[in-house]
Amino acid sequence: MSGGLLVAGTTSDAGKSVLTAGICRWLHRRGVKVAPFKAQNMSNNSAVVLGPDGRGGEIGRAQAMQAAACGLAPDLRFNPVLLKPGSDLASQVVLLGEAVDTITAATFRTLRPRLAETAYAALAELRSEYDVVICEGAGSPAEINLRDGDYVNMGLARHARLPTLVVGDIDRGGVFAAMFGTLALLDPADQSLVAGFVVNKFRGDRGLLAPGLEMLRQLTGRPTYGVLPWALDLWLDAEDSLAYGRVLGRPAAPRGTEWLDVAVLRLPRISNATDVEALATEPGVRVRLTVEPAELAAADLVVLPGSKSTVADLAWLRETGLADAVTAHVAANRPLLGICGGYQMLARAIHDPVESRQGTVPGLGLLPIEITFDHRKTVRPAVGSAAGDLPVHGYEIHHGHVSTADPRLVPLLRYTGGADEGAMHGVVHGTHWHGAFESDEFRRWFLTRAARLAGRTGFRVAPDTSFAAARERSLDLLGDLVEEHLDTDALWRLVEDGPPTDLPFVPPGAPQR
């Protein structure tokens, strides 16, 4: 067979990514050869994938997570188009893993046919290789101002004749209006592909919801395929940092007598915010995102995460008073960590003719290094060690590199082969490596060091925390939720048979395309 399904949503962050991953894990456990697909993703959370030529390329982090749900290594075709916003008006275009252009809304129209062609070709290849491809939409299919030229929502569904589910987040409120309105704003041809709905994040008495689901069926002629309950443990591999609350995950009680409080700055153009998820899996580590300078005063460890626009986010730190708060934190001899763009901000000077095109700007001056941006983007896996022989795996995605450094600096990491990476300078630490803290031994070493520097002598790391196991538990939970709370027999019929042929039209509908 060459089955497929599109998971669309009433809004961004409605649950498309997790539902797609859950369906993928359910099918994988049934022995189905299944793959994920998202024609176009707009996210600064990306993962590095080795292409067929051996070079590193980028896809959305969510698609890497969905690949794991399928038991697969990530593939560039799983997310052929990735848009990485660098500002409110411009995004970098990553096509089959490679950065090819920077566009605005106006120039996107001219590039869109090429992007659509690439996406359609990638999907066709995947459908020839896999039994089932579960596709994820983007935003909402009812963004009628964007329907012309769409190739990720109903444009994709119509091109590939994909039955479509619309998922809505009931925790936001107004879920019935959102699901009905999404359907009713589509033209007849698009509506004919929407098979039904899924409710996400429900908590309470299911009996109170049932009459609403029946009325929705009467109004639309379409069933609700299931109601997924609220699950507190689903927080790893977030598609976007906005999916986080103030505190990441569910911090477990400390193994020692003290907690370690970690404050992560929620930069406007934060990139790969998932780096700090590994820290939050450790018992006794409370990781919170903040934009308040006062909250840094109580933190043991402050983290400057990655940024798609290092110079612009550095200016924002200064405008908000956060730069002064970071400097005061270091002056109080408490630890600071910068990752990728955050590491670059710690430099004495940043020379940037590429991203911001502002030339030379002063950094925070907390590390004796200078950063220079190169037009060529470094995208590659990273393997090495720390603290002598602790194994570390990660990946790099950056234009900036260290051009000048004090030779007396102590490296934080070392590549396999001997080259130094990153820096430790008193309480200040920095690295270009994303994902390094998913390496359990390195994470434990770093947190132990951070606790000592912060004076948290009662903090103890757990000897048995496995980030890889935590991710697998999360994926299995997604598969369990799909199996237990969705009508999987009906889902399988959709995958096998395609869209039902008797779906009624719901007025008013958009003009026919």
Burial per residue of 431-461, b for 16 or more beta-carbon CB atoms within 10 angstroms, e otherwise: bbbbbbbbbbebbbbbbebbbebbebeebbb
Catalytic sites, residue numbers = 340, 434
Work out the end-to-end distance of the chain between its first and last CA atoms, rounded to an integer number of angstroms: 30
**Rounded distance between C-alpha atoms, residue 398 and residue 486, angstroms:** 41
| 3-state DSSP assignment of residue 43 | coil
Which are the contacts of 36, defined by CB distance < 8 A and separation ≥ 6?
20, 21, 24, 63, 66, 67, 69, 70, 78, 133, 134, 135, 136
| 3-state DSSP assignment of residue 464 | coil
**Rounded distance between C-alpha atoms, residue 381 and residue 397, angstroms:** 9
**Rounded distance between C-alpha atoms, residue 473 and residue 496, angstroms:** 28
Which are the contacts of 279, defined by CB distance < 8 A and separation ≥ 6?
262, 285, 287, 303, 437, 443, 447
Integer CA distances (angstroms), 134 to 45, 313, 500, in order: 20, 36, 17
**Rounded distance between C-alpha atoms, residue 36 and residue 22, angstroms:** 11
Written as six digits, the tokens of 419 are 């080259």
Q: How many CB atoms lie within 10 A of CB 90?
A: 16
Short-list 339, 321, 326, 308, CA closest to 366: 326
Written as six digits, the tokens of 136 are 């994820």
